[in-house]
Amino acid sequence: MSKPSDLVQGTLDMLILKILALEPMNGWAISQRMKQISSDVLGVSDGSLYPALHKLERRGWISSQWKASENNRRAKFYSLTRAGRKQLEKETANWNRVSSAISGIVMLKEA
């Protein structure tokens, strides 16, 4: 059990914010969605999802609420806050800048 690296950690945070930007969800749904969209490539374990959710909540980027879920059971639903939306914009911009720089390098033709 080693700590996820900072890159993965930061990426995980951004993914969670992005997913929640679409609609409020509970933990199980987030983990399913995550597997779906990342096609299991990132290999985010459920073990690291929940600590990350609690951390984001503490930072005030997401908030939580107990609501009835689809199958009519009470579950904890997370939603993006205003601060979270701003954070997501910042991180997305950041991500675009970094990833375009990296892909620029990767795309360089080998002469």
Partner 1 sequence: MLFAQQSRSVRQRLRSLFASEKQDREMQEELRQHLEQQIQENIARGMAPDEARLSAIHAMGGLEQIEQQCRDARGSSFLEDLLQDLRYGIRQLRRNKGFSVLAILCLTLGIGANAAVFSWLEGILFRPYPMVVHQDRLFAVAERVQGESGADVLSWPDFLDLRRNCTLCEDSFVSKITSSTLNIGDRAEITTGSVVSANYFDAIGVHPALGRGFEPNEDSGNDAHPVVVISYQLWRSRFKGDPQIVGKTQRLNNVPHTIIGVAPEGFYGTFVGWAMQFWVPVSMESTFSSGGYKLEDRGARWVESYVHLKPGVTRAQAQQQISAISSQLQASYPTINRGRSIGLWALWETPFNHAGELLPTLEMMVAVVAFVLLIACANVGNLLLVRSFVRRHEMSLRLAIGASRGRLWKQLLTEGLILSALGTGGGLLFAYWSRHALKLFFPARSGVSMYLPGTIDARVLALSAGVSLLVTVIVGLIPALQLRRLDLSGPLKSESSSVVGAHSGAWIRSGLVIFQVSLSFLLLIGAALLLESLQKIRTADPGFTTTRVVTTGVSLVAAGYSDAQAKIFQDALIDRLRALPGVESVAHARVTPLGFKAFSSTPIAVDGYQPALNELPTVDYNQVSPDYFATLGIALVSGREFLRSDDEKAPPVAIVNQTMVERYWGGQDPVGRRVQVKGRWARVVGVAADSKYYSMREGPKPFLYVPLRQDFDRASDLNLRTTQPLQNILSGVLREVHALDPNLALYEMITLQERVNRATSPQAVAVTLVSMLGGLALLLAAIGLYGVMSYAVAQSTRELGLRMALGAGAATLLRLVISRGLKLTAGGVLLGAVAALALTRLLGNLLYHVSPRDPAVFASALAVMAITAISACLFPALRAARTDPARVLKN
Residues that bind partner 1 (CB under 8 A): 1, 3, 26-28, 31, 45-47, 50-52, 54-55, 57-60, 66, 73, 75-76, 83, 86
Q: How far is CA 26 from the centre of its chain?
A: 13
d(C-alpha 69, C-alpha 91), whole Å:
30
In the complex, least distance from residue 31 CB atom to partner 1, rounded to whole angstroms:
7
Q: Which of 60, 67, 59, 58 is nearest to 27 (CA)?
A: 67
- Please identify, using beta-carbon distances, which residue of 70 and 110 lies nearer to partner 1: 70
- Please identify, using beta-carbon distances, which residue of 37 and 51 lies nearer to partner 1: 51
Q: Are 80 and 89 in contact (CB under 8 A)?
A: no
Residue 28 burial (CB count, 10 A): 13
In the complex, least distance from residue 104 CB atom to partner 1, rounded to whole angstroms:
33
- Please identify, using beta-carbon distances, which residue of 6 and 110 lies nearer to partner 1: 6
